[in-house]
Each structure stands twice: as C-alpha cells, then as structure tokens.
Structure 1
Amino acid sequence: MIGAFLLTAAAAPSWAADQEQLMQLLDRKSCTACRLQDADLVHADLRDADLQQARLQRANLSRAQLDGADLRQADLSFSSLMGASLRGADLRGAKLEGTDLRDADLSGAQLDADSLAKSHWRGATGVTAEASSYAAMHNAGVEAALQGRYPEAEDLFNKALLKQPDAALTWLARGISRAEQSKRDLAAMDFNYAATLFEQQGQKETAEQLRKGAADLAKDPNKSGNGFGSGLLQGAIGVFQQLAPLAIKMFAPAVGF
C-alpha cells in the first residue's frame, strides 16, 4: 500500500502538468514541446496551432482541424489523425511511425521524403510520391483497384512510378486501371512498356502475352473495360508469384489464386 501511494504521489505532478498543458493548447493554440501523450483531441480546432516538438504519441486527433498547424519535430507515433484536416500543416521532422492518417486531408502539407512510409494513409488526399514509399503507393493503388476506384488507382500508380520508374508490375497495373476506364490507347502504351521491362527480366512469354493484348486492345474497342485488363494476366501467373505480395491480390480473381 505504501509503495502504491508513493507511486501515485510521484506520478501526480506529471499528470497535472499534462492537463495544464492540454488546457493551454486548447486555450491559446500554442504549446511547444508539450507532453500530450494519449490526449483526447477528437474534433479539436487546432488550426494554425504551434505544436513544435510536442509529444503526441498515441493521442486521438481524429477529425481534428489542424490546417496550417506547426507540427515540426512533433512525435505523432501511433497517434490517430483519421479524417483530420492537415491542409498546409508543417510536418517536417515529425515522427509518423504507425500514425493513422486514413481519410486525412494532407493537401499542401510539408512532409519529409518517405515520412509516410511507415504510416497508414488509405483514402488520404494530398499524399505526394516523395512522402511515401514505392511499395506503399503501389499497394494503395492495388487496394483502390480492388474496390473499383480505377481513377484513384491510376493516380496512385502514377505516383508509384515516380518512385520506381522501372517497375514492370506497376506499368502493367496502371495499364489495367486505364483499360477499365476505356483509355484504350494509354492502356496499350502501358502494356507495351511493361512488356519491354518484363522481357529485360527474362520473362519473354509474359512480354509476348502483353504485346498481343495491347495490339488486340488497340484494334478492338469492345475489349476495353469489363475485366479486359485482368484477362491479359492469364499468361502471367509466374510473374505475380515471384513479385508477391505486391499486387498479387489485385489479380487473384482473374488467375485463380
């Protein structure tokens, strides 16, 4: 009992300081280097707030308004920013490992290169190619395509290709997304370029299949959309087995995985 009392007494000043800093943030929108771990800030209006170096690990900032906020060097590890608005926020130097940024608005936000590589940003807007990894961009495109969101998938594959221009699988995936939108000429170009890359990797059979499909697509407009792109993959099973887990889920229904 005495030990428990001593532990509680020792922790009390820290808890009081955290509560005081939380009130300071909400009142003044300025709390540099604040201790705000595990804070509940759901729907908080923190537009233009100064949160430099704030310790926000595991904090709940879901749906918070953080437009223009200064979050430089802040620790947001494993915090929730799901659905938050971070337009124009400064996140340079921020720790974002395990951070939930799903459905957040990051339009115009300042982010370090690859800073989102270990965060979760499915459905977020304003995510740049520089801020995330090739694999994250590609897999986000796969997920969008699986849900039939082909324009979004195409955009994500575009960003993935900025990170890794020689990724044959991503050229193929973007071509499929374009084919499903009836962008026949662009899809054929992607398939042909993917074929070249696969051929360079020694996948000659896959390259031939893709070139034939591209030619068929160009001359027969009725073959675009409605699963045509996925149909090209019947001869590419080996490729996807080698490159799993990237994109294999996208094509599983077509190739019988």
Structure 2
Amino acid sequence: MALAVAVSWAPPPWPSATNAAEAASVIQILEQRRCERCNLDDADLVHADLRDARLQGAKLQRANLSGARLSGADLRQANLSFASLAGASLQGADLRGAVLIGTDLRNADLTGAIIEPGGLSRSHWQHAKGIALAAHSYAELHNAGIRAAQEGRHPEAEEWFNHAIKRMPDAAVSWVGRGLSRAEQGQLQMAAQDLTYAAQLYSMMGDTSQAEALAQAANLMTQAPPRPKGGNGAGSHLIGAAISAFQILAPLAAKTMLPIPF
C-alpha cells in the first residue's frame, strides 16, 4: 500500500530591502554616474566606466573596482576601506578625505589625483603610477625605501631614501638606509659619506654606540676596493675591509631597516 507523503511548498524568499537598495545603487551609479553617500559596500564594479562619477561620501567598503575607469571622479570622504582599485584609472580623481585603509591601489594610475599628505599611508600603492611626492608622508617615503631594499631593488631604494632625507634631513635612519643601498650598488665612497653623517646625527642624539659603529663601518668602506660588476647579495661582492664593514653594519641594518610606524 502506497503511503501519501505531504510535501510542503513555500515561495522563494523575496530579496531583502537592504539588498534591493544596494542593487538600485549599483544600477544608479552605472547609469547616472552619480550616487553620493549611497551604499555600495561589496559591490562588483570591475572595469566599470565611472569617469567623472559623483561618489562623494559613498560607502564602498570591500567593493571590487579593479580596472575601473574613475578618471575625474569625486571620491571625497568616500569609504574605500579594503576595496580593490588594482589597475584602476584614477587620473585627476578627488580623494580628499577618502578612507583608504587596506585599499588595494597597486598598479593604479593616480596621475593628477588630489590626495592629502599621508592619505595613502594605510593603503597598498606599490607600482601605482603618477603619485605626487607631496601625497606621501616622511614615513611613507622611508618605508618605500626599506621595501625596495628588502626586495633587492637598491637603485629604487636609494631614490626613495633621497626623498625621505629631503623631507626630514635630520632623520639618521634614512641616511643609514641610503648608505646601505649605495653600498649594495658598490658606491662605497658615497655610502661612507652617508654613514658618517648618520653617525654625527646619532652622536648628537646621545647614541654613542650607534655613532661609533657607523663611523667605524664608514672608515672601513673608504679602504675597500670597488664592487665588481655582476655581484648579487649583501656582502658577497665585497672583500677584505668591505666585508668587515658589512659585518659591523649587519646588526645595525637589522635594527634600522624596519618600517617606521605611522
């Protein structure tokens, strides 16, 4: 005997009011390029054409704007925390007051973008182009030098330390960083000059042990032969006095080549 089985049926749930509002905001921004203070959190806007869009105060946390065209966009006070703008075009965009905590701006084009000093300090902007130096704080400039040095890009590291020193000439740690980067490139005389000046700065601060180590390393570098071309690796290209200089600098480098907190 067959048993009757009761099957209950319920209609599929309607989209929540919140989801409907977010969907409407996405449609609005794509069609009108205007959505001030609207909620676009987690929105998928990959490669979206948002040139000259009015997005002042918009909520764009975790939104995916990778490859989007945002040239001339008004993003003042927008919350872009943890959003992806990797490879996006932000030429001439206004980012004043924007929240950029954890924002991925790698490989983005920020040529002409309006950014407050230090506005990018908590974002990821490696290999982004067009960022004006004025948009970077001293710590950002110095830390960019450290990052380049740690990745073996010593000429680039030297340039970042140059900018850091121009911003804060009495920052001994940046003189050390530039000296180490120059030493890695075989520019031993110039490296020795940087380390000697850093020693003077540390001495004025009362850090005699640091000052003496730097002065000793600088003196040894002036006695070292030039680095042969084709070397790769800290100390491997130096012989004699130069190796002794790097041995002295090793613990100092481990201490000074750390990012500066913001």
Is residue 2:235 matched to residue 1:235? Answer: no
Alignment-derived partner of residue 27 in structure 1:
31
Is residue 2:106 matched to residue 1:93? Answer: no
Query: Is there any run of 5+ residues in structure 2 with no aligned partner, and where?
Result: 1-9
Which stretch of the first structure deviates more once superposed, 86-95 or 113-122?
A: 113-122
> What's the CA shift for 1:33?
2.1
Is residue 2:88 matched to residue 1:75? Answer: no
Q: Is the 8 A contact 1:141 1:153 kept in 2?
A: yes
Alignment-derived partner of residue 197 in structure 2:
193
Which stretch of the first structure deviates more once superposed, 70-79 or 156-165?
A: 156-165
Which stretch of the first structure deviates more once superposed, 37-46 or 214-223?
A: 214-223
How many residues were matched structurally? 240
Q: Deviations over 1:19-49 (max 9, x none)?
A: 2221222223222222211001112222222
Alignment-derived partner of residue 116 in structure 1:
120
Q: Is the 8 A contact 1:137 1:156 kept in 2?
A: yes
Is residue 2:259 matched to residue 1:246? Answer: yes
Q: Deviations over 1:103-160 (max 9, x none)?
A: 3222221111221222222332334454344444323322212222223212322333
Alignment-derived partner of residue 14 in structure 1:
18
Q: Is the 8 A contact 1:217 1:224 kept in 2?
A: no
Q: Is the 8 A contact 1:117 1:131 kept in 2?
A: no
> What's the CA shift for 1:94?
0.7
SS at match of 2:163: helix
Match of 1:54 among 35, 54, 58: 58
TM-score, normalising length: structure 2: 0.75
> What's the CA shift for 1:203?
4.1
Which stretch of the first structure deviates more once superposed, 163-172 or 84-93?
A: 163-172
> What's the CA shift for 1:202?
3.8
Structure 2 CA distance for partners of 1:17 and 1:246, relative to 1, 3 Å = closer
Structural RMSD (CA): 3.2
Q: Distance in 1 between matches of 2:94 and 2:27?
A: 22
Q: Distance in 1 between matches of 2:206 and 2:228?
A: 28
Which residue identity does 1:107 align to in structure 2? T
The percentage of aligned residue pairs carrying the same residue is 48
Alignment-derived partner of residue 211 in structure 2:
207
Q: Distance in 2 between matches of 1:127 and 1:218?
A: 37
Which stretch of the first structure deviates more once superposed, 178-187 or 78-87?
A: 178-187
Alignment-derived partner of residue 177 in structure 1:
181
> What's the CA shift for 1:97?
1.5
SS at match of 2:125: coil
Alignment-derived partner of residue 165 in structure 2:
161
Alignment-derived partner of residue 4 in structure 2:
none
Which residue identity does 1:234 align to in structure 2? Q
Q: Distance in 2 between matches of 1:148 and 1:237?
A: 16
Which residue identity does 1:235 align to in structure 2? I
TM-score, normalising length: structure 1: 0.77
Structure 2 CA distance for partners of 1:188 and 1:90, relative to 1, 3 Å = same
SS at match of 2:226: helix
Which stretch of the first structure deviates more once superposed, 231-240 or 12-21?
A: 231-240
Q: Distance in 2 between matches of 1:174 and 1:16?
A: 54
Query: Is there any run of 5+ residues in structure 1 with no aligned partner, and where?
Result: 248-257
Q: Distance in 1 between matches of 2:186 and 2:250?
A: 24
Alignment-derived partner of residue 63 in structure 1:
67
SS at match of 1:78: coil
Q: Distance in 1 between matches of 2:162 and 2:209?
A: 26
> What's the CA shift for 1:169?
1.9
Which stretch of the first structure deviates more once superposed, 158-167 or 109-118?
A: 158-167
Structure 2 CA distance for partners of 1:100 and 1:144, relative to 1, 3 Å = same
